[in-house]
Each structure stands twice: as C-alpha cells, then as structure tokens.
A and B are shown apart, each in its own frame.
Chain A
Amino acid sequence: MEVTVRLFATLKDLLPEDKKKISIELEAGSTVNEVIEYFEIPQEKPLIIKVNGRHGSKSTILEDRDRVGIFPPVGGG
C-alpha cells in the first residue's frame, strides 16, 4: 500500500530536498511506527502524529492512501 507523508518543523529536513511530502510504499497492515523507522526518527523523540488530519499514535494502523503528518511538539497562539 502507499501512504503520503508530510514532515514538519525540525523533521522537514528528513524529506528529500524541496519536497513538501513524499509517498512511501509499506506492507499492508503497517503502523505509523514503520513510517517513523523509514525516516529513522529516533524512537525517544516526542512527536505529534496526525493520520488523515486526526489524532494518531505510533501504533495507529495505516490504510492504503492514508495521509500521515508528523510534527515535533509545537505550540503557539
């Protein structure tokens, strides 16, 4: 299956240069954790995970054509 991944803030540099998002191929039944491993994001790093814009976690099971957004902790207002 294929999912679209967007990485933000300090994680943005893990994407190929000048890319805002990339599609990656994963095995059916994969979780967000596989995406995190794909980009070699250290496991201990705190993250905000959105799957199709909704709250997600490392264990969220992904489906074909899901949209994954991963952020370091951000805030403001």
Chain B
Amino acid sequence: MKIYRVNMTEGKVTTEDVKEDYAALGGRGLTSQIIADEVKPNCNPIGAKNKLVIAPGLLSGTNAPSSGRLSVGTKSPLTGGIKESNAGGTAAQKLAKLGVKAIVVEGKPKDGKFYTMMVNKNGVKLEDSSADLLGKGNYEVMEKMQKELGEDVSVMSIGQAGEYKLQSASIAVSDPEGRPTRHCGRGGTGAVMGSKGLKTIVIDDTDAPGVSIVDKDAFKKSARALAKALLDHPVCGEGLPEYGTSILINILNESGGLPTQNFRRGRFEGADEISGETIAEVINERGGNTTHACHPGCVMRCSQIYNDKDGNYLTGGFEYETIWGFGANSEVDDIDAIAKMDRICDDVGVDTIEMATTIGVAMEAGVIEFGDAEGAIDLLKEIGKGTPIGRIIGNGTGFTAKAFGVTRVPVVKNQGIPAYDPRAVKGVGVTYATSTMGADHTAGYAVTSNILDIGGTVDPLDKEGQIDLSRDLQIATAAVDSTGLCVFAAFAILDNDEALPAVVDMLNAQYGLELEVGDVTELGKSILKVERDFNTRAGFDNTDDRLPDFFVEEECSPYDVKFDITDKELDEVYDF
C-alpha cells in the first residue's frame, strides 16, 4: 500500500511507502497518528501548515460486512483540537482497492484556485477546476463529475461552505447513487479542504489491484461470522434496516432525554410527527426506500431515500440527529420541512448536527422564533449565498451564540452537543465532556446501556457507573473507527461474544498478524492518548473537558435532573 502526499503549494504529488509504525494502523488510528506526528498543534487550522489526511479503514475494500467507512483527520477549525470525522459512502472501499493507505494533503495554493484531485490506478493528479465548479453545491458537483467521468466514480466534495472556509463545513462523500448524502460532518473538515484549494476528489477504481489478503479462507470464514452476528442481532439485523436511526426519537422522548427547545426539556409534544415510525410510513407511501446501504456491502442498511410529496427524490441519509435537531430542538414537527433542511445542508456542505444546534441558538436569540420551519430553511439557504448572516450561521453554534449574545450554548470544545440530553442520559454526557473530539455522541455511545439495554443496563439518570461506561466505550470506539467498520457494528459486538473475535480474526487473516482481542483495547487506548496529547499541546487542559454551565444549573424535565457528575469524576475518564 501507498501513502500519497499532495503538496498544494507546489501542486506536486509524491508517493511514499508505508512506514513500519503505520502498517497496522488504518482509519482514525492512522489519521490521528499522522496529524499528531506532522501538524504543529498551534497552527491555524485553515493555514498552510495544517494537513488533511484521508484514510480508509483497515478492513475497507474487503468483503467484511459494513466495513466501508472513511476517516478524515485534521486539526479542526471548529474545536481547535484534533479531529477525525468519519463517513460512509463509496470512497473508502475504492481507495483501499487502489492500494491507498492514506492521502496527506498539505500546503495551500498560491494562486487561490480550486482543484480537482483525480485518484485512479495510475496514481494521483491535480487539475484546475475553478472555472467549472466554483460556487456550486455538492449535488451539482457530483452530478457533473459523474457525467464526465462515469457513473461508477466516487466523489468527495465541498459545497460553498467549504469554499468560504466556514467552521461547520463538511466533506461530502457520494453514496451508491452518486448523491452527496454521506458526510464527514463534524469539526469543519470541509473548511480545511477548502483552504487547500480542493473542491473535489474523484476516485476511479477501474482496474484497481484490489485488497491483498494473506489468508483468504480464514478471512472469508471470519467475515461470515461477523455478518451472521450482525444479522442475528435484533438492532443491527432488524431495527436499523427497517426504520433507520430515527427510530430513536420515540425511545428518547419516552426516556425524557430528547432535547427540546434548545435543551430546555427532555420531551417534545410533536415527537410522534417526526418519529422513525412516521418517517417510514411517509417514505413507503411516496415510493422511497427505507432500507438503503450507504456503501455496497453494508448489511445493516440504516440509510434511506426520502421523496417529496410528488414522489420525487428530496434527500437521503436522513439521520436521527438531524431530525431531532431541526425537529424537537427547534420545536418543528413538520417532517418535510426537516427533510428540506437536511437537503440544503448536504448541498451547501455543512454538518447537520452543528446546524441543528446553531438553529436552536438562533431561535434562542430571537433571530427567528422556535417552531419557525420556513425561517430555519431561509437561514440555512443564506449559508450558500455567503451573506453575513449565512457566514455567522455557517460558523456554527458557538460563533452564532457570540454574535447574538446568547448564554445557553450547547457546545463542548465549541462543537455542538447532539441529540441526547446529557442530564437525562448521563453516560453520553460524560462522553460529550471528555471526548478528544468535542461533543460527539459516536465517540462513546453510552446511549447503549443507558437507554437501549444493549451491553447491559446503567440507569441514565444516576451518575453511578457512567464514567467507566463512557471510558470503555471511548476506547473501544477508537479501535472500531480504525477498522473501517461502521460504529453500529458495536451493537452486536457489545451483545455477542463471537463478534469481536471475528473482527480480530479478519485483521489477522488480512495482514498476517497475530493480534488478540486484548490488543484491540490497547489500540483504542493508544489512539486516545495520541489525540489527547495533541490537544494538550494545542493548549487544552482538563477545564476543557466540561459541559456548559446550564446543564449543571438548570433542571431538565420530566425528571428534573441536572448534570451532577463532578469535575474530579470527569477527569477519571483518562485514568488508563
């Protein structure tokens, strides 16, 4: 495998062999290690010294089920700390098949132009695409690239938000239909891509050599074992394919942990209108698809295709967090309006979670009223136009709160807090506070034991056991994020003792290694340490591992709970 280094200052591409230290790393493990090794922690995230590292997971490109996840690493413009943003879509599998271990993008073009990066069997090439693509949204960019280069190419691109280098800008990754519904959403990776003068990356795996596997039979056997574990698990094999992630609306609402009206309370009167059950009905009535895979080979297929009232495609990859944020948190119960907001975000290229908490703060500030769906749609449209208000919104929750003098600001390390109230789902509150990524539910998804009875049961309202739960999950997740497996595979891994050994066996069979299950934990720990060390060098300390005051001071109904885990207890997350 190769690492391509693309220097945008000189427009030069070099090819490197993979250092021994990097051989057993992939996905998040690799992106975080390269960022820690090569990027000055105090550099300007959108300056020439920051880098953007793109890496498929260790198992990507193979037949391992649900293994096509992509990691993008950088110093985040949003948090100022290290960032790994993970996306589905078709890019990771194609990169891996082309033998690409990672692409490291560095420097900054002197001419201010925007380029297309072509990745194919001959290597990596840059082409000036300013004239064609500048100012265009992701939908148009992807359609154009596929018209020109064939339907089967995978496209990664930035919308207008990335060109403007806004802090919530995402990198879109095409889904199997070639649409920009999958995103490296969190942390402003799109702004870094924009700062490098990269509008799009096109990956063509025609005649790719494919992924080499040392012991093919052993690999096949373990891949089958993992697929079986996923399909046998009631959530991975039934719940996710049938309803997608928005099935969580009702259970969080029932549990009093569905943040409503900018995190004022934990239940939303309109929950049923925006629930997974309702959405599935609407999708089916309009001839959409409730069971869609974000990349070929995913058996859980939690994604979906959502059509408008006339039966025409509107959006896809319509996730629980997006629906919660533009729904309950903004007191909007109109699912079509929420779908439109999702579509705008995908097109302009901004993180839907960050935009959801930003809209909540804009409503708090009185820019628009809570419940004003049309107002929210208009605000999101401003981002693509580059107007002053659009740029304020596009810079995210913390920035918008400052612009309008709001104090109830749901962020940690300046990143918006997702769809689980940390007072009523305390385990995930610990993850928000302490993750190296800023507020990120996926970094240690304690909702499992807190709400879903997966991997045991820990009372979500009680602080007992939450630190250990979050720590264990954060360690395990860092490792899973390195394999290229979707984080949802963790549901089966937590409940089925055969799943994790199957993953380890696949890694051993593919790379000729002799890893044991315990090594996975060690890998997770070492990734977290590398990331935390970067953040420390960037100026972070323990006082950054805290939730905003209002979660400690204000009660969340219906259980009237506050976040009562002490600072000292939060610091224990890193006792390993």
Footprint of B on A, CB under 8 Å? 6, 8-10, 12, 20, 46, 48, 50, 53-55, 69, 71-77
Given contacts A12-B277, A55-B460, A75-B239, 14 further A-B contacts (CB under 8 A): A8-B251, A9-B243, A9-B276, A20-B272, A48-B251, A69-B250, A74-B239, A74-B248, A75-B236, A75-B240, A75-B247, A76-B239, A76-B319, A76-B320
Is residue B421 within 8 Å, beta carbon to beta carbon, of the partner chain? no
Stretch at the interface among B83-91, B98-106, B400-408, B440-448: B440-448
Query: Which of B234, B448, B457 is within 8 Å of A46, CB to CB?
Result: B234
B203-262 with Cβ < 8 A to chain A: 233-236, 238-240, 242-248, 250-251, 254-256
B235 contacts A10, CB within 8 Å? no
Shortest A55–chain B CB gap in Å is 6
How many of chain B's residues have a CB under 8 angstroms from any CB in A? 43
B532-560 with Cβ < 8 A to chain A: 558-559
> Would A53 and B248 be within 8 Å (CB), given that A48-B452, A77-B442 are in contact?
no
> Would A75 and B238 be within 8 Å (CB), given that A50-B254, A55-B457 are in contact?
no
Query: For the complex, what is the distance from the CA of A55 to the CA of B256, rounded to whole Å?
Result: 12
> Would A74 and B452 be within 8 Å (CB), given that A6-B254, A20-B272, A53-B255 are in contact?
yes
Give the residue among A53, A73, A74, A75 with the most B Cβ atoms within 10 A. Answer: A75
- Residues on the B chain within 8 Å of A69, using CB: 250-251, 254
> Would A73 and B239 be within 8 Å (CB), given that A9-B247, A55-B453 are in contact?
yes
Query: Which of B442, B454, B461 is within 8 Å of A75, CB to CB?
Result: B454
Query: Which of A12, A53, A73 is within 8 Å of B234, CB to CB?
Result: A73
- Residues on the B chain within 8 Å of A53, using CB: 254-256, 558-559
B255 contacts A76, CB within 8 Å? no
B254 contacts A73, CB within 8 Å? no
A77 contacts B447, CB within 8 Å? yes
Query: Which of A8, A12, A54, A74 is within 8 Å of B235, CB to CB?
Result: A74
Give the residue name and chain of the A residue nearest to B247 (CB). A74
A-B contact pairs, 20 of them (CB 8 A): A8-B251, A46-B234, A48-B251, A48-B452, A53-B255, A53-B256, A53-B559, A54-B461, A55-B453, A55-B457, A55-B460, A69-B251, A72-B238, A74-B239, A74-B452, A75-B452, A75-B491, A76-B244, A77-B320, A77-B442
> Would A9 and B239 be within 8 Å (CB), given that A50-B254, A71-B251, A75-B448 are in contact?
yes
Give the residue name and chain of the A residue nearest to B449 (CB). A55
Query: For the complex, what is the distance from the CA of A53 to the CA of B441, rounded to whole Å?
Result: 21
- Residues on the A chain within 8 Å of B448, using CB: 75
A76 contacts B558, CB within 8 Å? no
Shortest B307–chain A CB gap in Å is 21
Query: For the complex, what is the distance from the CA of A33 to the CA of B175, rounded to whole Å?
Result: 44
A76 contacts B254, CB within 8 Å? no
Query: Which of A50, A55, A73, A76 is within 8 Å of B248, CB to CB?
Result: A76
Shortest A30–chain B CB gap in Å is 20
B447 contacts A10, CB within 8 Å? no
A75 contacts B558, CB within 8 Å? no
Query: Which of A8, A10, A54, A73 is within 8 Å of B250, CB to CB?
Result: A8
Shortest A48–chain B CB gap in Å is 5
Give the residue name and chain of the A residue nearest to B280 (CB). A9
Is residue B369 within 8 Å, beta carbon to beta carbon, of the partner chain? no
Query: Which of A72, A73, A76 is within 8 Å of B245, CB to CB?
Result: A76
- Residues on the A chain within 8 Å of B488, using CB: 75-77
- Residues on the A chain within 8 Å of B248, using CB: 74-77
Shortest B182–chain A CB gap in Å is 15
Shortest A56–chain B CB gap in Å is 10
- Residues on the B chain within 8 Å of A10, using CB: 242
Is residue B487 within 8 Å, beta carbon to beta carbon, of the partner chain? yes
- Residues on the A chain within 8 Å of B461, using CB: 54
Give the residue name and chain of the B residue nearest to A73 (CB). B234
Query: For the complex, what is the distance from the CA of A72 to the CA of B251, rounded to whole Å?
Result: 10
Q: Interface code B447-466, partner A: CB below 8 Å = 1, 0 otherwise?
A: 11000111001011100000
- Residues on the A chain within 8 Å of B240, using CB: 75-76
Give the residue name and chain of the B residue nearest to A20 (CB). B272
